[in-house]
Amino acid sequence: MKKVIFTLLVAFYAVSAFAQGSNYIFFAEQGEQFFVIINGIRQNETPQTNVKVQNVNAMLLKVKIIFADKALGEVDKTLPVPEETSELTYNVRKDKNGQYVVKWMGQVPIAQAPPTPPATTVITYHTTPAPAPAPVTSTTISTTTTTVGSTPAPGGVNVNVGVGVPGFGMNVNINDGTGVFYEENTSITTTTTTTTTGTPVAPTPAPVPVPNNDHYIMPGYNGPIGCPWPMSPGDFEGAKASIRNQSFSDTQLTIAKQIFTSNCLTSAQVKDIMLIFDFEGTRLDFAKFAYGRTFDLGNYYKVNDAFTFSSSVDELNEYITGQ
């Protein structure tokens, strides 16, 4: 009896852990839009550049990335299912041969996952295909009216009305006894054209009104800005923890880029992230990447303190001048 109860408990906890599911993040480093297909089911209804599919509890994960630009093709990938619920990040990018690949970039337990960037499309994993879009029928009606007038020879009072079918034509002849004969020919043609297409067109969203205070106000700073709202201190600390949890410098850099593609930083925050990296080249790479995503561009000189060599400062300055 004890063995049976123990077996049932193990099975219960296994099913519970499996039911929770893991999160999978896919992002395109160069901003290509794509659909995520998991086990044959499309997850996002519109193409995106940054997609998080949460609570994925499949035992086998066959993933297909289909680009919105059909010229870029498709990518197939079989992904591993972690033993514990985790958040896994994958980069959709070109390899050294110019072919698109889905590359694993990092994995953390769900409890340690950083906040989801605002620009990320979050979808709960589903195995039921979305219903087919209802066909859209458009009807066009065009009407043409033609009137011609003339004055033939005089005559007596005469009224003549003629109607032709189809297309509806009408001739009216009137002689009013004054010696002038009026003829008016009116032709009305109505054409109805019906066109049916299988894909409805999404309405254009209304513009979002911009409030008067449309960007962060940094005390004591009145210089140029590169983005409107820097990350909050709490979200930023979570992002730093996620980057530090990666074992390799290349992975740290990729995760940092993934997080800050959709987030704004201050110069001080950029410097903090740079100091996480062990290598000078990685710091320089991130400093170039973050320049266009920094609020207080006038303070960007402060990131130079994170460099060891003056040549890195010179290269960053040259890069900024080119921007």
Rounded distance between C-alpha atoms, residue 58 and residue 19, angstroms = 9
Q: What is the pLDDT at residue 167?
A: 53
Question: 121 by DSSP, 3-state: which?
Answer: strand
Are the beta carbons of 110 and 23 closer than 8 angstroms?
A: yes
The stretch 76-84 carries a mean pLDDT of: 88
Q: Are residues 158 and 93 part of one domain?
A: no
Q: What is the pLDDT at residue 255?
A: 92
Structural domain contains residue 222:
no
Structural domain contains residue 219:
no
Structural domain contains residue 287:
yes
- Given a cut of 60, whether residue 83 has pLDDT beyond it is yes
* Residue-number span of the structural domain to which 285 is assigned: 233-322
Q: Are residues 115 and 10 part of one domain?
A: yes
pLDDT (tens digit per residue) in 111-132: 888 888 777 889 999 888 766 5
Tokens found for residue 148 = 């011609």
Q: Are residues 262 and 184 part of one domain?
A: no
Structural domain contains residue 159:
yes
Structural domain contains residue 221:
no
- Average pLDDT score over the chain: 78
pLDDT (tens digit per residue) in 245-296: 998 989 999 999 989 888 999 999 999 999 999 999 999 999 999 998 999 9
pLDDT (tens digit per residue) in 188-238: 555 555 555 554 544 444 444 444 457 888 888 989 999 988 998 888 999
pLDDT (tens digit per residue) in 133-175: 555 555 555 555 555 454 454 554 455 555 555 555 555 555 5
Structural domain contains residue 228:
no
What's the structural domain count of the chain? 3
Q: Are residues 68 and 159 part of one domain?
A: no
Are the beta carbons of 136 and 197 closer than 8 angstroms?
A: yes
